[in-house]
Amino acid sequence: MRILTLARDLRRRKARDRNALFVVEGVRASEELVKSPLEVVGALVSPQLATNPRGATLRTSLASRGTEITDVTTAEFESAAETETPQGILVIAATPKRSLEPFAAADPSRVLVLDAVQDPGNVGTLIRTAAALGATATVALPGTVDLWNAKVVRSAMGAHFLHSAFHCTWDELRLFLDETQTALWGAETHGPPVERSAAPRRLALAVGNEGAGLSAHVHEACAHLVSLPLDPSVESLNVAVAAGILLYELRA
């Protein structure tokens, strides 16, 4: 029952960080994981998987990779799963080692910066949106929810597995921006409308916390601020929705 014990432990961020592992739940997300280059460590399977038409195929795909598959009861599976209606499949994978270094020469480039964004659903949607709109990478500054939180992974619907999303410190990001001459822009409700701004070839776009906006030090470091012109009856947009529109408008 090694995989069951590990899956239970990985519900905690400290355990994910310590083991450099994360959990993927559900058939669709697990299918995307199997197709990706990420290392799969093991899988937990309950009788529920057999009721899904794609369950047998997924199990075969995992087995063909030499994945350690552990069959458990429904109760045991639910003790490790975080979804309200588990589909009977939970896969453990190695967290990829990523950094800004490979993107130093990228030109043009678009980096999405998450500044203390805390809602897992928003963060997952932000990662998927960044991937869909061709962003070079998504970096999460301190204060942002763990990118490998099970809820974030579910919301991103497999985008994590190919799109370069990772955590970094403000000092690491600032050094990268300086060394690569990448401009840092910030999304700000009262900033100039985005359509009036000509984006540089190398750009990092920072979006802030759902309630507080950009952190003071990030706001101060921004070379330019951009906003979306909204109807006066609407105060603001969801951070993921706003970021998607801005990324589209600022695409290289």
DSSP for 180-222 reads HTPEEEEE-TTS-BGGG----SEEEEEE-BTTTBS-HHHHHH-
- What pLDDT was estimated at residue 169? 98
Cα dihedral 28, 33, 34, 37 in deg (nearest 10): 160
Q: Cα(91)–Cα(25) distance, rounded to whole angstroms? A: 6
Largest CA distance in the chain: 59
Question: How confident is the chain (252 residues) per 10-residue block, as mean pLDDT?
Answer: 93 97 96 95 95 93 94 95 91 97 94 97 97 97 97 94 97 97 93 85 94 92 91 79 94 83
- What pLDDT was estimated at residue 103? 95
C-alpha radius of gyration, the chain, whole number: 20
- What pLDDT was estimated at residue 195? 85
Altogether, the residues listed in the chain come to a count of 252
